[in-house]
Structure 1
């Protein structure tokens, strides 16, 4: 009787562990924020969960990979969007978009150099093609984003940063600084 209960408990525990590992590998990706990823909303050494396979919206923080190295940035534009930065004013689809999250930034200078989709793609595209994104860092002096790597393909995006696990004082959903209208 005792042997049967032990085997039953071991199988139950193994199934639970397998289930947790499957959820982690297929749905979630833990991210530790490095100094190059940090901004006013994501602090260095924060442990954050990225949710894989979720729909992305303007202003979401995303984890993406370029040459097997992980980066975190803010989704600025999606497919079919036209984008122009001119004189530090952001135009998406020919409308001015306020980036209030930058004014609260702890970075002294957040000036964004002039560019458009055409300049990022060497004239190949005027609008973002299907299955691509424009991703920029909040620290606009850090050029390790679409300005250096080009448009980020959908399959390079690991997931959307959604939940902070540590530090415990800031445990909870990520504040992106975007005001939903």
Structure 2
């Protein structure tokens, strides 16, 4: 009779161990392939994202769709550093800024996420310095296939495609659209 109790305890521990290993395996799969946390480092996405905001990166979304204009993406800027920026132009598009207006293929495009910053400018100040895609690293006439053009929302303090050139889509980790910490900033971000 004592042996049956021992076997029951062994089976109970084994069941707990199996459940724990299954939970750890699922957590690993979710973290590696689907979602992961990221901490915003620096002011380049102000006022949309603040330094030290903690976000969830959807790593799966770009396996089933392409990035869209104004998505906030995380990409490998180097082997050691990931950046978080906003997609501005897509493959095959020409991008330029003139007099603080974004032009895609010669057509003006509104950037609603910049309105608050633009309202605070003094007369004759601009948020984004004028540029054309041809003047930037790579000298492209249009964004090449398999690449995107990205910029930070804090245009005066952002290392982005204006310095780095276009970003290969295979360097994009995923889309960051949910701030989960600090709690008072919990929100879905995007346009």
Confirm or deny a common fold (TM above 0.5): yes
Alignment check: 8 A CA contact 1:37 1:71 kept? no
**Whole-Å separation in 2 of the counterparts to 1:53 and 1:117:** 29
- Per-residue CA deviation, residues 126-168 of structure 1 (Å, 9 max, x unaligned), is 1111110000011111240001100011111111102111112
**Whole-Å separation in 1 of the counterparts to 2:127 and 2:185:** 29
> Structure 1 residue 9 and structure 2 residue 9: aligned?
no
Q: Could you tell me which residue of structure 2 aligns to residue 92 of structure 1? A: 104
Alignment partner of 1:117 out of 120, 123, 133: 133
After superposition, where does 1:44-123 map in structure 2 within 5 Å? 44-54=51-61, 55=65, 56-68=67-79, 69-105=81-117, 111-123=127-139
How large is the RMSD of aligned CA atoms in angstroms?
A: 1.9
Which of the pair has more CA radius of gyration?
Answer: 2
With 108-117 and 57-66 compared, the bigger mean Cα shift is at: 108-117
SS, match of residue 105 in structure 1 = helix
Unaligned runs of 5+ residues in structure 2 are 1-7
After superposition, where does 1:99-178 map in structure 2 within 5 Å? 99-105=111-117, 111-123=127-139, 125-174=140-189, 176=190, 178=191
Instruction: Give 1:37 deviation, angstroms.
Output: 3.7
- Per-residue CA deviation, residues 4-58 of structure 1 (Å, 9 max, x unaligned), is 1210111111111111111111111211112234411212211101111323221
- Per-residue CA deviation, residues 86-118 of structure 1 (Å, 9 max, x unaligned), is 222211022101112112139866521222222
Unaligned runs of 5+ residues in structure 1 are none
- Work out the number of aligned pairs and report it: 175
More helix by share: 2
Give the structure-2-normalised TM-score. Answer: 0.83
